[in-house]
Chain A
Amino acid sequence: MLVVLVVAVLLYLPLMLWANVGPASRALASGADLGCPNAIACATQLRNPVLPAPGQLVQGFRSLSVPPTAPTSAPYNAVVTGGETLLGLVLATGLGLVLAALLVLSRSFERATLPWLVASQTVPIVAIAPMLAVLLGQYGVQGFLPKALIAAYIAFFPVAVGMSRGLRSPDALQLDLMRTYSASPGRVFVQLRLPASLPYLFTALKVAVTAALVGSIVAEISTISFSGLGKMLAENSRASDTIALWVIMAYGAVLGVGLVALVGLLERVVTPWRAGR
């Protein structure tokens, strides 16, 4: 893993120079005063580089991260986005669990709704997000919640599917055993199906949390919002501040990995008997 990292870092410099020399020489040829003698030297200090130079990245990180609690800093906005994502994940999990239970308990419900649940995933939520925000704002729902709802919309499907697979995972032998105990359907559900579904639930939650993060960032991009990584992306994209975009992308990546790790931690706490895997 480390070797690949080192190779990637070593390859980055020539790649960066190669990508940037073109725009740099074009800018020089057009007579712009970049304050540097030739194209190679200019490649590391373009204002809008194709690939930013390491020095520029470090500077970008510093200017976006200090002080970390300022409303324009990336860490603060990452925390806001993370909060929306987690709230969205909680809502998605609730909805997903109810749907999964209904899907498993009633076959007519499954036949009537499952195709629409699949279809709901092919609806480009990014397209709905702005309208949903306007709509919810009309009825007095503002701030945190609309974004969390959009995140939940995009994340409930993996939970519902994974959970219904988990609820069906006990095999005939185990179900027969419960029958010999003359257990009621309710007891079978609580004591056999629910525990059996937990590993499936956590696998699904890891997918769902990534989806929810995408949802909340998209919601921030396409609605009127005043904080969050998505809003920073939209702003800096409009201002063509490429280096800031790279920095925000890195923060988004760290946030995504961190959220998945958080779900993994929760999994270890809730299902300790599987911790060895």
Chain B
Amino acid sequence: MASGAVTWRGAVRRPGLGAALPLVLSTLGLLGLAAGLTRLGTAPERPLPWLLGVLALLLLGVLGIRAAAQGEGRAARFLPAALTGLLAVLAVEVLLRAYGVPAGLIPTPSRVLVALWEARTVLLQDTFSTFVLEALLGFVVGALIGLILALLVVRFRFLERGLLPYAALFSSVPIVALAPVVVKALGLEWPSKMVVVAITVLFPVVVNAVRGLQAAQPLHLDLLHTYAASPSQTFRNVRVPTALPFVFNALKVGSTLALISAIVAEFFGTTGHGLGFRIQIEVGRFNLAVVWAAIVLASVVGLAFFGLISVLERRFAPVPENS
């Protein structure tokens, strides 16, 4: 982002109380509509007025969010997204009820919440095997092997010519095509999914880490040469810091890929654990509230994983202001 002082529209305005009023009105209004529909019991005969009401309230909410997003404070950075999410969920709840969409097609957010609570033990067990055993372990293994390979590739020119083109080639291969083969070869237990995840994470890490390790500027290298720095000092002080942003970029990509490939791999056979297994089996029973609950859990875990890596990135490879 640009330095922040100069925005597209010019001057920076102060955040005001003008944001709070429309937001409170919009939220209360949507809650009121939902409560009205609950009292009504069934879906209304003519849903159009409800739709118009929701749209008007959303417009009011958007105005409030716009006002809340002005300024530079912590609140201005985090509140708008949270409010957008809240309003969207409320609006979906009201619209689904107003149009009487059957729960077998799309369950309302409140039903999903209830399902999340009622099936919490099973879902948490599933999350444990999918996230901790498969995604996280596979991610760590894949990233470590990838980093070691990248170091070898940078160290030996022969490998750079011989191995790197294949790594680039393999990173454009659809990983899901790999999953059934690996699961068939290694069995239904969780290690087979861990291997799929590791392979998925491996190639982006290799390609990006090599690019990063080679991105050091000749000027910096020359400077260290004039300091009579040893190769290992040069490596530690120049090459590793330049490579870190590239590596973290690959790790971020890998973190989302890891969860997705763990779930896909579970589609090809499990021993009865895991979010992928749960989703597949509950879709078959049209028990969509549980399916969405599993998706919500997977997203929360995935987002936390992504956030963790972002925190590590900010700690070890801070992004310069102007990028």
Contact = CB atoms under 8 A, between A and B. Distances in A.
B106 A252 contact: no
A48 B180 CA distance: 13
A128 B177 contact: no
B162 A3 contact: yes
B303 A135 contact: no
Interface string B65-96: 11001100000110011011100000000000
Interface in B77-135: 77, 80-81, 83-85, 105-106
B162 A249 contact: no
Contact of B184 (A48, A113, A124, A126): A48
A75 interface: no
20 contacts: A107-B69, A108-B70, A111-B69, A111-B77, A111-B81, A112-B81, A113-B81, A116-B85, A119-B299, A121-B256, A123-B299, A124-B260, A124-B276, A124-B299, A127-B263, A127-B298, A138-B105, A185-B8, A221-B176, A259-B172
B271 interface: no
Given A111-B77, A127-B291, A257 B169 contact: yes
A89 interface: no
Q: Which 8 A-B pairs have the closest CB atoms?
A: A122-B302, A108-B69, A4-B162, A252-B177, A115-B81, A112-B80, A237-B180, A253-B173
B176 A108 contact: no
A249 B181 contact: yes
B235 interface: no
B170 to A, nearest CB: 8
A231 B275 CA distance: 22
Contacts of A113: 81, 84
Contacts of A168: 1-2
Interface string A2-19: 011000000000000001
Interface of A: 1, 3-4, 19, 48, 50-51, 104-108, 111-116, 118-119, 121-128, 130-131, 134-135, 138, 168, 185, 206, 210, 213-214, 217-218, 221-222, 229-230, 233, 236-237, 240, 242, 245-246, 248-249, 252-253, 255-257, 259-260
B15 to A, nearest CB: 11
A122 B276 contact: no
Most chain B CB within 10 A, of A108, A122, A242, is at A122
A108 B180 CA distance: 44
B185 interface: yes
B56 to A, nearest CB: 18
A255 B173 CA distance: 8
B188 interface: no
Interface of B: 1-2, 7-8, 65-66, 69-70, 76-77, 80-81, 83-85, 105-106, 161-163, 165-166, 169-178, 180-181, 183-185, 256, 259-260, 263-264, 267-269, 275-276, 279-280, 283, 288, 291, 294-295, 298-299, 302-303, 305-306
B80 A108 contact: yes
Given A168-B2, A222-B267, A122 B303 contact: yes
Given A126-B263, A185-B8, A246 B81 contact: no
A134 B107 CA distance: 13
Contact of B295 (A128, A229, A237, A260): A128
B177 A257 contact: no
B81 A116 contact: yes
A55 to B, nearest CB: 18
Contacts of B175: 214
A130 B283 contact: yes
Contacts of B69: 107-108, 111-112
Nearest to A259: B172
A233 B76 contact: no
A195 B278 CA distance: 47
A2 to B, nearest CB: 8
Nearest to B166: A4
Contacts of A221: 176, 264, 267
Contact of B76 (A106, A111, A134): A111
Most chain A CB within 10 A, of B170, B269, B303, is at B303
Given A1-B165, A122-B259, A252 B174 contact: yes
B177 A126 contact: no
A124 B83 CA distance: 23
B105 to A, nearest CB: 6
B303 A127 contact: no
Contacts of A135: 105-106
Contacts of B174: 210, 213-214, 217, 252-253, 255-256
B177 A217 contact: yes
